[in-house]
A = this chain, B = another copy of it.
Amino acid sequence: MDQDLIKKIPHKTIQRLSQYRRALLLCFEQGKTHIFSHEIANLQHITAVQVRRDLMLIGYSGNLRKGYNIKDLIELIGKIIDSPNGQKVAIFGMGNFGRAISKYFSGRRSKLTIVAGFDVSPDKVGKEIVGIPCYHMDKAREIILQEGIKIGIITVPGDQAVETAKAMVEAGMKGILNYSPTPVEVPENVFLEEYDMVTSLEKVAFYVKEH
């Protein structure tokens, strides 16, 4: 598929494609071969129109009577969002949060592999946590360069987030997912996604209050 077209796919569509794929994988495992847009929609909180629009953007055509070929669609989504040889990921902060993420990914066949964890606590450094080797934060630069890790997840406490992000950028990382409550700065060429659980919970609380 044309690279220029891929770049024009909206952020939200990219994220939905990832969701579609997971739902499709489940269907595929159940032996289903084809699926309609409204079936995909029903598996998520999405409308059938939205699904068809997203699939139009990636240039996939379904069968008018049978719907979409699940196997083909999974493959196409993979071609768009995955890297051919996979990508390595590192986690910064192996507390409960870091371990939760590691655990979630371990054993999952995926193009994304968590290959290293970093922490400062002596009872974690040097050990394997959920099958992932845990190194001291001081070793981060070395390991990142050595392994060619380009993606990192920040799960350190808020007061360490800024320095952690700085170190990550300096070691050449190109994508950062920041789960700490503190916003971090990155250069323009580094993709940053921040998610703060507290503000999200406060939002929920607000709308509960308002009925």
Contact = CB atoms under 8 A, between A and B. Distances in A.
Interface of A: 6-7, 11, 14-15, 18-19, 22, 43-45, 80-83, 87, 89, 95-97, 99-101, 103-105, 111-112, 150-151, 153, 155, 174-177, 181, 183, 189, 191-211
A155 B96 CA distance: 13
Nearest to A84: B209
Nearest to A108: B198
7 contacts: A14-B202, A14-B207, A22-B198, A81-B202, A87-B209, A89-B205, A100-B155
A72 to B, nearest CB: 19
Contacts of A99: 96
Contacts of A197: 101, 104
B205 A15 contact: no
Given A104-B198, A203-B11, A208 B87 contact: yes
A205 B112 contact: yes
Contact of A175 (B112, B183, B191, B204): B204
A8 to B, nearest CB: 11
A41 B11 CA distance: 23
Contact of A208 (B11, B150, B181, B196): B150
Contacts of A15: 199-200, 202-203
Given A83-B205, A89-B201, A183-B44, A103 B112 contact: no
Given A203-B193, A204-B193, A183 B103 contact: no
B176 A191 contact: no
Given A191-B204, A204-B176, A196 B19 contact: yes
* A-B residue pairs, 10 tightest by C-beta: A96-B100, A175-B208, A97-B100, A18-B199, A191-B207, A175-B204, A18-B202, A174-B208, A96-B99, A96-B96
A174 to B, nearest CB: 5
A205 B97 contact: no
Among A105, A153, A207, find the residue whose CB has the most chain B CB atoms closer than 10 A.
A207
